[in-house]
Each structure stands twice: as structure tokens, then as C-alpha cells.
Structure 1
Amino acid sequence: MDKRFFNLFNLTEQEAIALLDAPKDEADAGNSRYTAAAHLVNFPTDDSINALIRAVENTDSSLDNRIVRRKAVETLGRLQAKQALPIIRKCLKDEDCYTVENAVWAIGEFGTQEEDILEEVAQVLERPGQLYRTIIHILTKLNYQKALSRLHPFTEHEDPPIASAAIAAICRLSGDDTEMGKVVEFLQHSSVNARRGCIQDLIDCDYDPAIPQIARCPVSLVFRLRAIRLIGYSGIKKGNLTFGQIQPYLEQVLRDHPNDLDFVHEYDQTPSLAFAIQELYQTDFGRCYLAIKTLLETYQDETPQALFDTYEEEAHNDYGAHYHVMKLFGWLKHAPAYDLLMSALKNPLPQFQKSRAAAAIALGEIGDKRAIPELKASLETNIWDLKYATLIALEKLGDYSSHSIIANDSDPLIAAKASQTALL
């Protein structure tokens, strides 16, 4: 589990427990108690677990308290505190659908195989207004075969992420993948949540025929790269795939050029430069990529200065737009961006991690060989996408001198990439 973002609050365990136990009429108690419930994930002790259980047992109906209860249930799940199972089980009958969802998720983290508990989880599917996708995932994760009959109606659900989850669940529980093509079709849905959701479902099914379509899906490369890696690792382990079959799609996603995507949005007319720049801040990366394509094809001369301007105004602190700005400088081969790209390459903040790989790719595109020593230093990182992107960038710059050093990397895809060109 990635815990880099967990410990964001400067609280001791006892301070967090005291906040969580604070009475509801205390000033700012709601926000403080939520913070405490989140922070206690850092303390897998009996004291913390008991405090979280007390928070779940507090059934005050105020919105603040309901939100705290949801977070407390989630944290107990993250801590895999199985002693909390009885109280979590009671939450399956809660009136708050989000508390129910978190309770189901927590039970999935506990990993119980008690059939009566699994049956109670399955019965939640029969209640209206629930968050069915999580329930379907957990029943599948826990291999509850008796849920199959309840899942079939959800394959035609009007909400695409739910339908996708149900189809994938039937595939996993029964071994029948005949309907998985419908999940692949969701990769081109207009809803970004549908696209992201079906990628996770394809991962869960190890559905390697979808790798080419995943690579072209207009969502953040984080989702696509994770899918291709996980499906690829599984396929290689099973003997169904080779590195050579996966490599083109891995590198296509890491390069992340808009021409390698299938768009689900379109413009009625060519947008202005200002509009296209502002689209880089969209949370739906499908819209971001469409804007990038427009900037590259229509505003090539004006875009570099506009990128510098938006970086100074907002993008320096917006990790999504920051990523797109770095990548665009590379596609524009804009040499004056060298110093900014070098700064991004070295940025240690975890929220800007994908910008480091983007900067590596961009430095390779710009072609300035001054970047080679700093790129080589990036090979010492444990960040997978930065390491692989660095290999691509060094190859673009004609330097293969470090490949043999990491040809025995612990990651099989990195090792295969490095070994492929180690002798050049």
C-alpha cells in the first residue's frame, strides 16, 4: 500500500485520539474529528483501533458525525483491524449509503470467508440507492460464488461503471469472458468515470486482449500505465505474453502523444488559444489531450509563451496542468524550456511524480545532450515510470551507456528494456 500521503497531519497518536473523542459541540469538532480519523491510519495500535471503534459506535445523525463515521470505518479497513469486524458488520444495515459502502470495502480488506457475512454483503445488492460497484468488487474479491445470480441483472445497469463491474465480476467468478468486449467498449465512453472504472475491471480480469485499446484510451496515463503493467506482469508470469508484446504499448503510453489516443470529445469549432490553455486544467484528461492536439496543430508558434505564462500563474501548483505543460514543451521541441524541464525532473514532491517522467521524455525530445548526466542520475530512483521514461529519453539522445547497469533491475519490465539495448 502506498502510504506517502497518509501522514499529512502534525499530530501524535494521543492527540488524534483526543480529537476523535471530542464532543460534537466543541469548536470545529467535525473537521478535527475527521482529520483524526484519517490520521490514525498511521498508528496500528489497540488504542487507535478502540478509538476508531468508538467513533463508529457514535450514531449521532448530524452530517459531521456521519462523515467521521465513514472515515473511521475506512481507517479500520486500512488497518485491517479484524477485531472491529462485529461493529463494521452492523454498518451493513446503516441508512447512510456511504457508510455501507465503506463497511463493505473494510470487510474486503479484512478478507473474511465467513459465509453468513458474505451473504449479508450480497444482500446489500437488493437494497435501492446503494453504491453497487464497490459491493460487486468486494464480493468478487472474496470469491463469493453464490453472488453470481444477483450479479447478472447489473450487467445491463444504466450506470456504466456498475455494468462494467458486474460483467467483469461474472468473468472472474465463472471464468466466462464472452461479455468482456462490452467492458472494452466502455474505454470509449464519454464519461471519464466509466473509462477509469472499466480499466480497473480489465485489470481485475487480467484481460490482456484489451491492452492496445487501453493504451489509446483518453484518460490520465497513470490509469493506462498501471493497467498495462499489471496485466503485463500477470501475462508474462502465466506465459501468455512476452515483453516484446507489451513494450510498444508501454512506451506509447509513457510518450503520451495525443496522436496515439482515440478521442471521445470533439470541438464544434477551433477553440481560441486561451481556451485551449485553460483546458489543460480539466480533470477529464480526454479534454486535456484534445486541447493539446489543438495547441500542437493550430497554435504551435504561440503556445510556448502561453505555457510559460500559465505555469507562472497556476500550473506550477496544479499537478495535472503541470504534467501537460512539461510534456507539451517536449512535443514542441522548445529548447528555452530546458531549465524548467530540468527542475521538473528533480522535483521530489510525490504529487508531481508523473511530471518527472514527462520532463524526462521532453528532455529527450528537445535533444540537448546536457541533460544526459541528470537523466542518468534518475535511473537510481525507485519510481518506475521515471526510470523507464529515462531509458527512452537516453535512447533518444543516443546514450546507452547506463543500460547494462540496470539490466538486472528487480522490475522485469525495466530489466527487459535495459537488456534489449545494453549492448548497443
Structure 2
Amino acid sequence: MAERFDILFEGLSEEKALELLRTNPEDLSNPVEKYTAATRLAASRSEQSLEGLIEAIQLDPENLFNRITRRKVLEALGRRRDARALPALFTALAFDDETSVINAVDSIAQIGAALNSNQSQKLLCALRGSDNQKRSVIQTHTRLGLAGGEEEIAALEQEENPLVAGAARAYAARVHGRLDRLVPLIHQLTDSIAGRRRAAVIDLGDAGDVSMLPHLVTCPVSMPLRAKSAFQLVDPEKTGTVPTAHSDLIIQLLQDDPAMLSLQKDWICSSNLTEIEKNLQHRDEGKQYGGALSLMNMPQELQIETIDQLRSRYWSDYGANYLLTAVVGLKNVEERSDVVRTALAETLPQYAKSRVAAAWACLRLGLTDQVELLRDIQNTATWIPLKWSCEHALKGLS
């Protein structure tokens, strides 16, 4: 998903980014530019930029801006997916900065290259850290299919922290075929704590068992997170093609009707502007979806009035933007089709999920005047859920 935000750094040249990366932050008028440069170089492809990133792993962490830059560098090397960065990434496993270690571990997984026995042992030793670090190390074992950690990781399936236990269960299922270990993760999808639901969605995607798809689809967490795991299950090679057997569930997920989600009763607020407003601004997506459902259940005249008031206040909030666009489509609010057109035309990366909602809304509302834009998005989008949604909207509108 980070790739979608590369547009934010288009004004910074590679040459300037390398210069900033090598400059002492104390000599910069704005030291933040140094770690911004590291993020910019994640999108580069030159040898010089790769060498610059690898070199920057040795920045002196005593300086706060160097330390943050080093973290961004370790993250950037994962996006570069170049195995030549592996030796440097493994040196970072010995750092005393937990965030740097986690970023290095995640980047090792992203690169996806085969590890030698020494590297595998170093990665396994990285389990001796915080719960967040343990989770990241387990996930990397899962994503790289490393069977050697079976005994150590199996012992973590009973950890009190479900984020560690869930990752360990996903590992057992994916690498050792123990699908029965996933049952607790199904229950975790409806946990009252949002972070646990999100973790379960990620773990089930990693587990690779496509029979988990129906459970993922109805979990009340953000649509993009569910979509990422769902597409892992149905399209692991990232071809953009969904087998017919799973197409209906993917459509259900991307259309994202709050009424189809496993919402707790206390997440659904009363149907008035004040309460809906509170829910849409809540950090828990379950509450957000509960607010959207209350909006959907309003009488049409009051619904339109509420949409207008929420739009005037929160249209720039990409969470509210998405849910308002979705509600207009799901409830066929023809009087507010301009909401759909505006959302579909939005090109800022943080509104990509609103464009998904808008694509389906175009289909429901029969907005044939948007066909050209839908086709353009289908041809240029790199995010598969958006590309796939436009493709299906176009088929329905043709």
C-alpha cells in the first residue's frame, strides 16, 4: 500500500534525496528532509540509490533524525526487493532500536529471497524481543516458508498476547499444514478490540487457507485491510484475476455493505446526526460502520439532509469520505450522485478506497457518464481492489 503514496515525493529528485541522506542533520535547516529522502529513494531503481540506502543503515543513532532516517531506510530497502540488501538488513537485527529491528525483519520478508542457514538462525534468534518483534519475526517465517522454526514458534501459540499467538497459528497452518490451529482466529475476527480483529485478518491472510474467506469478508475492520488478506487467499500471484468460485465473496467485500458485517449491537448508534457524527469519527472501524448503518436506515429525506451536513464538515476526512460515498451507492441515493462523481475523480492516494466505493456506486446508479473515467482508472491503477472494482463496474454498465 505504501507505493500509492509515492506521488507525495515526486518533487524531490533522486540526486537531491541522496544528498540529503548523506548530510548531517545538524547541517540541515529542516532535518525532517533527511528521512523524507529515505522514503523517496524507496521508489528509485538506480544502483547509486540502492548503495546510498545500504550505506545509511550505519547512521549514528544517537541523533534522533538519524535514528528515524535509519528506520525509514530499512523500510525502503524492503520495497526495493533487492537481495543485495540482505547482509546489511541482517546486521540491523543486532540494533537496540526495536523499530529498526522490526523494519529490517519486515524488509527481509518483502525481499523474499532464500536465506542461508546462518541467516535463518539469526532470524530465529530475533524472536527474543518484545511481542511486536516476535510477531514480525513469526510473520517473516510464515511468508518465507521457513520450516526450521517449528518448535520455537509452536511454543508461542499459547501466548497470552493474541497478536503473538495468532501469528504463530498462521505459521503452523501455512508452513506445516495445521489448519485446525486457525479456529481461535475465526473467533478473534469479532473481538471487541479493534486491534485484535485487524491482527486476525492479517494472520488469516498469511495462513493461506481460502476456506477462511467468508469469515474475512464479514469482519468489521477497514475494507483495504480485508481486501489485502482476501486477495492473498484468492490471487496469491497478484495477477488481478479472481477464480469464479470466490468472485461473489470478493464483490461482497468490496461493496462493503455495513449490514453484511458482524457488528456488535452497541456499535450501531441512534439515527441522528450527532451520534452518527461521533461514530464516523471513532478510531474503531466497527463504530464507523455502525454509524454508516444508522445513516443507511434513516428515512430518505432525513438521510439526504444528514449526508449533506456530514459532507460539508467531513468530506476531507478520508474515512468519512469513503463511508458517505459507499452509503450513496448502497442506498441508491440518486439525488447525491455528484458525491460519487467527485469521489471517483479524486486522485490523492488516501482516497483510493473512496474510488472503490464510487466504482460500485456508478454501477448501482447507472452512471454511464463515468465510463471513460472508470476505464482510465482500470488501465492505470496499480491497487488491485480498485482495478478489479472498475473492471466489474464497466462490465455492468456496458
Give the structure-2-normalised TM-score.
0.87
Instruction: Name the CA distance, whole Å, in 2 between partners of 1:49 and 1:389.
Output: 35
CA 1:364–1:83: 2 relative to 1, 3 Å: closer
Find the counterpart in structure 2 of residue 410 from structure 1.
none
Is 1:320 the counterpart of 2:319? The answer is yes
RMSD: 2.9
Instruction: Name the CA distance, whole Å, in 1 between partners of 2:96 and 2:83.
Output: 23
Find the counterpart in structure 2 of residue 352 from structure 1.
351
Give the structure-1-normalised TM-score.
0.82
Which deviations, in whole Å up to 9, do the C-alpha atoms of 1:371-405 show, x marking residues without a partner?
2242475245235545654676678xxx66x3xxx
Is 1:220 the counterpart of 2:213? The answer is no
Is 1:263 the counterpart of 2:273? The answer is no
Name the SS of the counterpart of 2:208 in structure 1: coil
| Contact map agreement 1:277 1:307 (CA 8 A) in 2 | no
Is 1:156 the counterpart of 2:195? The answer is no
Find the counterpart in structure 2 of residue 337 from structure 1.
336
CA 1:174–1:305: 2 relative to 1, 3 Å: same
Map 1:6-405; keep pairs closer than 5 Å.
6-9=6-9, 10-28=11-29, 30-110=31-111, 111-128=113-130, 131-233=133-235, 243=244, 245-264=245-264, 266-267=266-267, 270=270, 272-298=272-298, 300-315=300-315, 317-365=316-364, 367=365, 369=366, 371-375=367-371, 378-379=374-375, 381-382=378-379, 383=381, 384-385=384-385, 389=389, 402=398
Identity of aligned residues (%): 26
CA 1:13–1:391: 2 relative to 1, 3 Å: closer
Instruction: Name the CA distance, whole Å, in 1 between partners of 2:269 and 2:205.
Output: 37
Find the counterpart in structure 2 of residue 405 from structure 1.
none
| Contact map agreement 1:218 1:289 (CA 8 A) in 2 | yes
Instruction: Name the CA distance, whole Å, in 1 between partners of 2:57 and 2:33.
Output: 16
Instruction: Name the CA distance, whole Å, in 2 between partners of 1:376 and 1:122.
Output: 51
Which deviations, in whole Å up to 9, do the C-alpha atoms of 1:65-103 show, x marking residues without a partner?
211111112222322344443332221111111111112
Deviation at 1:115, TM superposition (A): 0.8
Deviation at 1:273, TM superposition (A): 1.9
**Rg comparison, structure with higher value:** 1
CA 1:144–1:359: 2 relative to 1, 3 Å: closer
Q: Which has the higher contact order (CA 8 A, sep 6+)?
A: 2
Name the SS of the counterpart of 1:328 in structure 2: helix
CA 1:259–1:26: 2 relative to 1, 3 Å: same
| Contact map agreement 1:7 1:42 (CA 8 A) in 2 | no
| Contact map agreement 1:53 1:87 (CA 8 A) in 2 | yes
Instruction: Name the CA distance, whole Å, in 2 between partners of 1:107 and 1:71.
Output: 14
Instruction: Name the CA distance, whole Å, in 2 between partners of 1:12 and 1:363.
Output: 38
Deviation at 1:353, TM superposition (A): 2.5
Instruction: Name the CA distance, whole Å, in 2 between partners of 1:172 and 1:67.
Output: 34
Name the SS of the counterpart of 2:41 in structure 1: helix
Name the SS of the counterpart of 1:146 in structure 2: helix
Which deviations, in whole Å up to 9, do the C-alpha atoms of 1:249-279 show, x marking residues without a partner?
2222233222111114615973742231242
| Contact map agreement 2:194 2:284 (CA 8 A) in 1 | yes
Instruction: Name the CA distance, whole Å, in 2 between partners of 1:94 and 1:5.
Output: 28
CA 1:61–1:251: 2 relative to 1, 3 Å: same
How many residue pairs get aligned? The number is 389
Which deviations, in whole Å up to 9, do the C-alpha atoms of 1:96-139 show, x marking residues without a partner?
11111112222233424211111011011123465211111112
Q: One-letter code of the match for 2:76?
A: T
Deviation at 1:172, TM superposition (A): 1.8
Gaps of 5+ in 1: 403-424
Query: After alignment, is 96-105 or 7-16 more displaced?
Result: 7-16
| Contact map agreement 2:170 2:203 (CA 8 A) in 1 | yes
CA 1:306–1:33: 2 relative to 1, 3 Å: same
Instruction: Name the CA distance, whole Å, in 2 between partners of 1:279 and 1:97.
Output: 34
Name the SS of the counterpart of 2:277 in structure 1: helix
CA 1:233–1:268: 2 relative to 1, 3 Å: closer
Gaps of 5+ in 2: none
